């Protein structure tokens, strides 16, 4: 099995590094965005209730980690599978007699590693250039980064089954990702988003991943926060207990459904279902 996973991992990682556009939007773009907004709003703070506030640059940089795992996991994995299915490469790999699970695991492992590396680069850039303080809960921060990357990668494998061709993959991947970024309070304070749109975003894991990272890094309970007209009131949970929230249930449901969908609907070529 390792004889299949490692070559697949190497192939998919190499294809990522050779694609300058993908590298830019997964690695460089979130760093540039965090630095530009961080420097432009370096004195801006966001009210969190109870006299507590957080710097906008810290809020944005930590929220962008959910963008990174979506780009490195969801978009990369789903896009690679759709493209290589279209070209026939995916089917040729399978016809070599390799294990189906090992082939898919190679794709997923590449997306997972790339997501974590890009996330680390984003956060280190924020620490060195924006003055982001060290994480309050280091094990919790690592756990959120790992689980978020795993979740987005598995969703990417499942979603690839519904991409009809390589030509349509960009539209089907980038558009929903960017919409969810804005609906989930990644780029802007969540309380300025209309309540009806926030309700829609709560069906998806993006906002929870962003809040979970903010919670573990800043040591404040964003996962159980309630919105007010001018800010938010933080929750009262502490430590890893912050992660036990309705958002965790949403993530678990998405993970389970994605596994089932991958097993049932994954396509190896453009013509047949299996």
H or E element at residue 202:
none
Of the listed ranges 97-106, 170-179, 258-267, the least confidently predicted one is: 97-106
Q: Percent of the chain at pLDDT above 90?
A: 47
Residue 162 lies in a domain: yes
Residue 272 lies in a domain: no
CB 74 within 8 A of CB 156: yes
Q: Is the pLDDT of residue 154 over 70?
A: yes
Residue 155 lies in a domain: yes
Residue 117 lies in a domain: yes
Residue 35 lies in a domain: yes
Domain extent, residue 87, equals 2-265
CB 73 within 8 A of CB 107: no
Residue 274 lies in a domain: no
Number of domains present in the structure of the chain: 1
Residue 270 lies in a domain: no
pLDDT in tens, 205-258: 999 999 999 999 999 999 998 887 777 888 889 999 999 999 999 999 999 999
Q: Is the pLDDT of residue 96 over 80?
A: no
User: Which of 239 and 89 is assigned the larger pLDDT?
Assistant: 239
Confidence band (pLDDT; 50, 70, 90) for 41?
A: confident
Residue 271 lies in a domain: no
pLDDT at 93: 75
pLDDT in tens, 239-250: 999 999 999 999
The three-state (H, E, C) secondary structure of 66-127, written as one string: HHHHHHHHHHHHHHHHHHHHHHCHHHHHHHCCCCHHHHHHHHHHHHHHHHHHHHHHHHHHHH
| Angle of CA points 187, 115, 137, to nearest 5° | 75
Concatenate the DSSP letters of all residues of 246-264 into one string. HHHHHHHHHHHHHHHHHHH
Mean pLDDT of 180-194: 87
In Å, how far from its chain's centre is CA 154? 11
pLDDT at 101: 79
pLDDT in tens, 116-135: 999 999 999 999 999 899 99
pLDDT at 92: 81
What is the largest distance, in Å, between two alpha-carbon atoms of the chain?
62
Q: What's phi and psi for 72, nearest 5 deg?
A: -75, -30
């Amino acid at each position: 099995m390792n004889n299949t996973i490692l070559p697949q991992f190497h192939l998919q990682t190499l294809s990522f590094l050779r694609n300058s556009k993908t590298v830019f939007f997964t690695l460089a773009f979130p760093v540039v965005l965090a630095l530009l907004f961080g420097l432009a709003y370096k004195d801006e703070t966001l009210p969190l209730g109870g006299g507590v506030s957080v710097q906008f640059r810290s809020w944005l940089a930590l929220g962008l980690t959910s963008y990174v795992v979506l780009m490195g996991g969801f978009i990369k994995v789903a896009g690679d599978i759709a493209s290589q299915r279209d070209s026939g490469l995916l089917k040729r790999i399978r016809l070599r007699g390799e294990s189906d699970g090992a082939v898919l695991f190679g794709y997923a492992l590449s997306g997972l590693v790339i997501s974590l590396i890009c996330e680390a680069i984003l956060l280190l850039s924020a620490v060195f250039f924006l003055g982001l303080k060290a994480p309050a809960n280091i094990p919790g921060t690592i756990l959120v980064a790992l689980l978020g990357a795993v979740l987005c990668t598995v969703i990417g494998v499942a979603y690839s089954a519904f991409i009809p061709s390589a030509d349509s993959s960009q539209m089907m991947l980038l558009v929903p990702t960017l919409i969810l970024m804005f609906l989930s309070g990644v780029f802007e304070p969540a309380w300025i988003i209309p309540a009806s749109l926030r309700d829609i975003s709560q069906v998806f894991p993006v906002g929870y991943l962003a809040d979970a990272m903010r919670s573990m890094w800043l040591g404040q309970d964003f996962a159980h926060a309630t919105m007010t007209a001018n800010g938010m009131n933080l929750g009262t949970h502490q430590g890893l207990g912050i992660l036990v929230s309705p958002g965790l249930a949403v993530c678990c449901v998405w993970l389970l459904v994605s596994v089932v969908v991958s097993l049932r609907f994954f396509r190896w070529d453009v013509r047949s279902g299996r």
